[in-house]
Each structure stands twice: as C-alpha cells, then as structure tokens.
Chain A
Amino acid sequence: MHRAVLAAAGLAALAACDGAEDRSSDWDYVHTAILRPSCATAACHSGLSSVAGLDLSSPDAAYAFLTGRVCGAPPQAGDPPGNFVRPGQPESSQLMWMLRGEGTALVMPPDTPLPDVEIEIVERWILEGATCD
C-alpha cells in the first residue's frame, strides 16, 4: 500500500513538468494534437459541417485552408486567403486572434477555448514559418 502511494506521488511529481517549448511545432503535431480534436468536430470544422467553409479534418485540407498554400507547393506571394495564418507573423495572423479571443468577439473554439500552452505551440508553428513538413 505504501509503495503504491509512493509510486503515485512519484508519478504526480514527474507529471506535467514539460512546457510548450518541449513539444513539437511541426504541422503534423499541431494538427493532430491540437486542431483536429478541438476544431474538426461534427458541428464545426469537420468535413460534415465545414462551418464558414473551413474543413480542418485532414492535415492537408486544414493546411490549405489556414495558410492558403498547398502542402508541398512553393510559397506564393501575398496574403493567404482569409489571412488566417501569415507565416512568420503570429501577431498578424487571424488564427491567433481567434484562439486568444483578442480583438474579436469570436473566440475559437467557442465552447471551450484552448489552454494557453497549446496556443503557444500553434504560435511557434506560425513563427517558424508555418510549414507543413
């Protein structure tokens, strides 16, 4: 019994010691770990509903919608459609405003906003160029 309690206490002490900087900011991780479970739900940005024309259910589709680029294609000049993501510029990316609820009444996700640590990972992905590899 004491060993179990000690083991649990040890696990608790070890748990949750990582920060956002310890997680990957690759697109695959950003999409699969953060955007897909929180945004691509039945009533929102799934292939089923595509609210506001946004289908974030697959990595390629989500990348194209958010950045205006096709994954693997060379970058194009100009702002991406809708300005959801401006590579390298999280402060002027609409996606960040919506995730943080800054300067907009439309907080995303509207039922439960993301925790700050996950928003930081998305921000780092944009800051590092919003690539899809």
Chain B
Amino acid sequence: MRLTVVLVWLVAGAGSASAYPQFQLSTDHERCGDCHLSAAGGGLLNDYGRGESADTISGRGDGAFLHGAWEPPGWLALGADLRGALGGKQLDGHEPDTLAFPMQADVHARVAAGPVALSITAGLRGSARERSPGPAIAAWVASREHYVTYQRHDDGPYVRAGRFYPVFGIRTQDHTAYPRRHLGYYLLEEPYALGGGLSGTGWEAHGSAFVANPVPFTGAGPRASGATVYMERRLAAGTRALAGQARVAVTAEDRRYTVGAVGKQWLKGSRLMVLSELDLQVQTFTSGGGTRPQLVGYVGVTRMMLPGWMIGGAIQRWAPDLMLQGSTRNALEINAQAFPWAHVEVHLLLRAEATGGDTFAPNLLSLLQLHYYL
C-alpha cells in the first residue's frame, strides 16, 4: 500500500463545507437565509443560525464566534472553516492508496454598513506537486467568494455583485457531488456575477448573470459567461419544496443549456430528509463535434438524528453523452456525520463509483473528515 500524503492546504477542499442543504425543512426552517447571513444561503451563519448550530444540530456547546468568548460588533461578522481528511482509495485494478490531507482553511468576513455588505471568503491553498510559475500570492491564497450585497431588510429582495456561487441546484457541502462537479460548480469555479433574488411566503426566486473569470489563475473550470435562474416553492406546510432551474453557459469552445428540477421532502415521522435533483443539459460544440445531450441525477436520503448525528446515502449519475454507450459515471455513497459539540463535525464518506457502466468494477473511496468551524 502506497502512502500518499498531500502536504498542502489543498484547493481540493476550499470550496466545500459552507452549506448543508439537509438542514432546510428538516429543522423547521424553510429558507437557507433563516440561518445564513446571505439570503442565497451558504457561508457565514447569522446569530440565530449559530444558536441553532449548537442547540439543534449539536446539542452541546456555544455556537457563537469564538465559542462566545468575544462578540464582534454588529457591523462585523467573522468565521473560519478548517477541515482535514484521512482515508483511502482504490481504483479498479490498482493498488489501494492511503490519503491524508488538509482540505480546507478558509476565513470568512462580512462587513455591513446599513443595507450594504461586503462578504469575503479566502483560504490558503497550495499544490501537492510542482507549483506553477506565476504570481506568488495566487499560489498560496484563493478567494472563492467576494461580493457586495444590497438588501434593505432580512427577508426583502437583494442584489449582489462580485464573485459568488449562483443559486443553482442542491448546494451540497461535498464539492464532488455530481450536480456540483459536472454542472459548473466544482472547486473554485465560482464566476463573477451580478445576481439577485426575492422571496415571499412559501417561495423564493434567484437569478444571476455571470462572466468568465477575468483573472484566470484565480479560478478553474470552463471560462463561461451566461445566466442562471432558480425558483423554489414550498408545499405541504413547509415539509416539501419543488424547484425549477435553468442555466446557459457559453465559452469559446461550447455552449451548454441546462434545465432541471429539484425536489426536497422532509418525512417528519421517519425523520428522513430526501434531496433530489435531475438536470438535462445540451452541449453544442463551436467547432464541429455536433451536439450531445447530458444528464445529471442525484437522490440522497438522510436520517436526521439531531442533535448529534445524521446518516444517509446517495446515488448519483452523470451521463456526459446520453447517446454514447459506456460513457456514464454512477456513484453510490454513504455519509455518516456526527456533530458532537458546537463547531465540530466528524464526517465519514464511503463511495463506490463506476465509470462506463461497469458497475461491478467500481473505484472505491473512504474519507474521514474532521471539520472545525469558528
């Protein structure tokens, strides 16, 4: 067995751990913005969310910044995420590898002046291997989100501009989940965008127009321009949500048109939270190559045993070319997450992933993640 120690503050984790969609609906909160400072969800928690992280999620400790030792002034919100991982992987037909690497080291800051707020998430990054030539600071630091928001009231409409994760699909904390991995929301693929949203009783809508990252060495993924829209409606007394979404992304090499649906169901009696997403995408190639239809599917079921635990599984499918035989990726995974104290999470991920429809020869991954947030 080979030991692979990735001695880095790895970009491979810098985009994760900022949103837990399982908590929507299952904790009697309909909107992500109930607990997050951003109306679009993700990122820093508000005071209420910090309280809930201790009382409802962990059941122990003080969820406030610095565990309540110091309270920032009202115009300032601060936080941090530190995450490391231990585990192993075995590709089909190859020797297993052991993995050990720091995943995430992000700091978050939000400065508000009346209805205007500046939000920044920045983290250390590095490279497991040879570093590329280029500006030294970009080799060590990455900021996946930095944007200015204008919002008069907590529940009111908002607009924001800068670099951020447009509202689209299930924003899992795991960046390798197929809807994120294959639809333009993988690591450091957040675009520069102008977006906004509004909400009412039982519904919310968000839209963003984005452009290719003007500074390529600060991001990754296709350098696309385009737009997204996402509309969600809550039903059944806030235990169910259905959403429709669409996206267009254009690069010099291709165009991708996506439509999709998201379903969320909280089964209170059995304490099961179901998250599902199905997206159909058409990719056309600028220089020949024609057009190919694509599909992303995700179904996850989580048993919410809060405070303290949530355990679940998910099946995922990515078909980059629905008409091309043997091109699909399928994954089955199990997640066990423990929240023993406020600010602490232990997450065990087990995944079997089969490429090309070869279900009986999967690639295996196990990852134990230790997560501390401030």
Contacts and interface: CB of A to CB of B under 8 A. Distances in A.
Interface of A: 14-20, 22-24, 26, 28-29, 31-33, 36-37, 40-43, 46-53, 55, 57, 59, 101, 105, 107, 110-118
Given A37-B182, A43-B10, A112 B355 contact: yes
A116 B356 contact: yes
A103 B253 CA distance: 33
Interface of B: 2, 10-12, 14-15, 89, 91-95, 127-130, 132-134, 138, 142, 176, 182, 186-189, 216-223, 253-254, 283, 285-290, 292, 319-329, 353, 355-358, 363, 365
A113 B356 CA distance: 10
A41 to B, nearest CB: 6
B289 A43 contact: no
A36 B358 CA distance: 23
Given A19-B325, A115-B355, 20 more contacts: A26-B288, A32-B289, A33-B292, A33-B320, A37-B222, A40-B221, A41-B220, A42-B12, A42-B188, A42-B189, A43-B128, A49-B132, A49-B220, A50-B132, A52-B130, A111-B363, A111-B365, A112-B363, A115-B357, A117-B325
Given A29-B289, A42-B221, A117 B254 contact: no
A16 B187 contact: no
Contacts of A42: 11-12, 14-15, 186-189, 219-221
Given A57-B220, A117-B326, A28 B356 contact: no
A49 B288 contact: no
- 5 tightest A-B contacts by CB? A115-B356, A50-B132, A42-B220, A29-B289, A42-B187
Nearest to B10: A43
A116 B358 CA distance: 10
B217 A48 contact: yes
Contacts of B327: 16, 115, 117-118
A15 B329 contact: no
Given A41-B221, A113-B363, A117-B356, A28 B324 contact: no
B11 A26 contact: no
B324 A41 contact: no
Contact of A48 (B92, B218, B323): B218
B325 A16 contact: yes
A36 B91 contact: no
A47 B329 CA distance: 26
B176 to A, nearest CB: 8
Given A42-B187, A55-B132, A105 B320 contact: no
Contact of B12 (A36, A43, A116): A43
A52 B129 CA distance: 7
B329 A115 contact: yes
Contacts of A41: 186-187, 220-221
A105 B129 CA distance: 16
B220 A26 contact: no
B305 to A, nearest CB: 30
A25 to B, nearest CB: 10
A37 B129 CA distance: 20
27 contacts: A17-B323, A18-B325, A23-B324, A26-B287, A26-B288, A29-B289, A33-B289, A33-B292, A33-B320, A36-B222, A37-B222, A41-B186, A42-B11, A42-B220, A43-B127, A46-B221, A47-B216, A48-B11, A49-B220, A51-B128, A51-B132, A105-B94, A111-B365, A112-B355, A113-B92, A113-B355, A116-B326
